[in-house]
């Protein structure tokens, strides 16, 4: 996998206690990496990080990315070969209640990681993760390209667009110097679902929690269309990008979109109907109800054009829609109904994902 480039390497993951960070950390351990993580807290209860026991398998640091001294010390001490920066305030609704906290985490936190890398100057590759919501969404029916306008109507989107601007300016101001040993690129993805997510105001999470208690869930925007993707899809993109950037300096400073297959656009109602089948409801009325309560603006459509990742790195999405549904349903059902070993289950799902990719001849499996 990924040319075995991560085996035995020191990899720092910021935001490692979060949903995506926990999956990435688990995958890196499977790839043989020596992983350190930096996060300010365990963000949810329950949390995938706790349920998989990751603290026992990595160098686990609690600290705020908004504190430059903390970030610098971790990088100085660990001397990473790779950095994956995922630490963020990632909830759109929270950006309305705490706009300054969102901006400081997503913009200043990102700047601190870049500044620490500039000051320490380790020989490493840094993959900075932002979001598909960094784009100004004008409800196009085609996917956004990396050159499209950045911005957004909500604070969360604005913070991600601003982070992209800061990353670009750091690359051009500091990381192209001859003595700089750091290479940087950004990855953009969204509409990510998968087992182990317990963040609030996410429809799949709300459903799994409610269904485990035998309660129907209220749906705000049943006809909203999303290009749903399993969390392993963008993570395979980030890992591909890290490997490619290590071997190809021409990718330094570039941004890449990572999204699902085009046919995976589904409405919220379609997705929840398919996910509910694993819970054996007698009627869909027992699974969800439509409500008119929409407390903040939600995009009706936002999808990405991933041609650049295909052209430069031969990266393609892996899972078909029904496989996505099976992966998500299976993880949560076994957690709530079977009390399974969640680390073993997560590793098994990563292995199944790798095997499907190998059978389909995806380039990162070699």
| Maximum average pLDDT range among 22-31, 190-199, 219-228 | 22-31
At residue 233, does pLDDT exceed 70? yes
User: 215 CB contacts (<8 Å, ≥6 apart)?
Assistant: none
Lowest mean pLDDT among 118-127, 163-172, 267-276: 267-276
Is 333 a domain residue?
yes
CATH number where 99 lies? 3.40.50.720
Question: Over the stretch 82-107, which tens digit does the pLDDT of each residue have?
Answer: 999 999 998 888 899 999 999 999 99
State mean pLDDT over 39-68. Answer: 96
The pair of three-digit structure tokens given for residue 168, joined into one six-digit string: 């670009």
Residue-wise pLDDT tens digits, 106-139: 999 999 999 999 999 999 999 999 999 898 887 7
Is 280 part of any domain? no
Residues 6+ apart with CB under 8 A from 114: 126, 128, 166, 167, 170, 184
**3-state SS assignment for residue 79:** coil
* Rounded distance between C-alpha atoms, residue 264 and residue 225, angstroms: 10
Residue 274 lies in a domain: no
Q: What is the overall mean pLDDT for the chain? A: 93
Parent domain of 42: 2-267+292-365
Count of Cβ atoms closer than 10 Å to residue 108 Cβ:
18
pLDDT of residue 301: 67
User: Any idea which of 205-219, 289-303, 330-344 has the lowest mean pLDDT?
Assistant: 289-303
Domain presence at residue 8: yes
- Which pTM does this prediction carry? 0.95
Q: How confident is the model at residue 298 (pLDDT cuts 50, 70, 90)?
A: low
Asked if residue 299 is part of any domain, the answer here is: yes
* Inter-residue long-range contacts of 275-278, CB under 8 Å, 24+ positions, other chains counted: 275/204, 275/207, 275/325, 275/328, 275/329, 276/207, 276/211, 277/329, 278/329, 278/330, 278/333
Q: Which residue has the higher pLDDT, 294 or 227?
A: 227
Residue 226 lies in a domain: yes
% of the chain surpassing 90 pLDDT: 77
User: Residue 304: inside a domain, yes or no?
Assistant: yes
The predicted pLDDT at position 34 comes to 98
Which residues neighbour 158 within 8 Å (Cβ) at sequence distance 6 or greater? 103, 151, 152
What is the predicted pLDDT for the residue at 282?
84
Encoding tokens for residue 275?
């996910």
Residue 294: its pLDDT value, please?
A: 56
154 Cβ partners below 8 Å, 6+ apart? 92, 95, 96, 133, 296, 297
**Residue 342 forms part of a structural domain:** yes
- Give the chain's domain count: 1
Over 70: is that where the pLDDT of 146 sits? yes
State the Cα–Cα distance between residues 109 and 116, nearest whole angstrom. 11
The stretch 251-279 carries a mean pLDDT of 90
Q: What is the average per-residue pLDDT within 19-29?
A: 98
């Amino acid at each position: 996998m990924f040319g075995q480039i991560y085996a035995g390497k020191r990899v720092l993951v910021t935001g490692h206690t979060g949903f995506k960070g926990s999956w990435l950390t688990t995958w890196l351990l499977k790839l043989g990496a020596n992983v350190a993580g930096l996060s300010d807290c365990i963000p949810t209860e329950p949390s995938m990080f706790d349920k998989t026991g990751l603290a026992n398998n990595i160098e686990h640091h609690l600290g705020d990315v908004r504190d430059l001294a903390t970030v610098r010390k971790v990088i100085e001490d660990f001397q990473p070969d790779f950095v994956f920066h995922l630490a963020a305030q990632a909830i759109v609704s929270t950006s309305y209640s705490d706009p300054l906290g969102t901006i400081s985490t997503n913009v200043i936190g990102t700047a601190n990681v870049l500044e620490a890398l500039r000051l320490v100057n380790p020989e490493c590759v840094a993959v900075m993760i932002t979001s598909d919501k960094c784009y100004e969404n004008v409800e196009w029916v085609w996917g956004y390209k990396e050159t499209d306008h950045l911005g957004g109507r909500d604070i969360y989107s604005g913070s991600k667009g601003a982070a992209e601007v800061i990353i670009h300016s750091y690359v051009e101001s500091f990381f192209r110097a001859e003595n700089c040993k750091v290479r940087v690129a950004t990855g953009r993805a969204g509409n990510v679902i998968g087992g182990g997510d317990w963040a609030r105001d996410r429809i799949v999470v709300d459903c799994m929690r409610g269904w485990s208690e035998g309660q129907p869930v209220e749906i705000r925007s049943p006809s909203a269309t999303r290009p749903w993707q399993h969390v392993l899809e963008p993570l395979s993109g980030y890992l591909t990008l890290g490997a490619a950037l290590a071997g190809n300096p021409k990718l330094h400073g570039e941004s890449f979109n990572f999204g699902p297959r085009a046919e995976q656009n589904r409405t919220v109602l379609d997705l929840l109907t398919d996910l509910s089948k694993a819970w054996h409801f007698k009627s869909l009325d027992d699974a969800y109800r439509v409500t008119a309560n929409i407390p903040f603006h939600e995009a009706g459509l936002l999808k990405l054009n991933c041609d650049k990742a295909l052209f430069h790195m031969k990266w393609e999405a892996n899972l078909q829609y029904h496989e996505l549904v099976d992966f998500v349903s299976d993880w949560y059902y076994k957690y709530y109904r079977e009390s399974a070993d969640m680390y073993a289950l997560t590793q098994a799902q990563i292995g199944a994902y790798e095997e499907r990719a190998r059978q389909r001849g995806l380039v990162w499996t070699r």
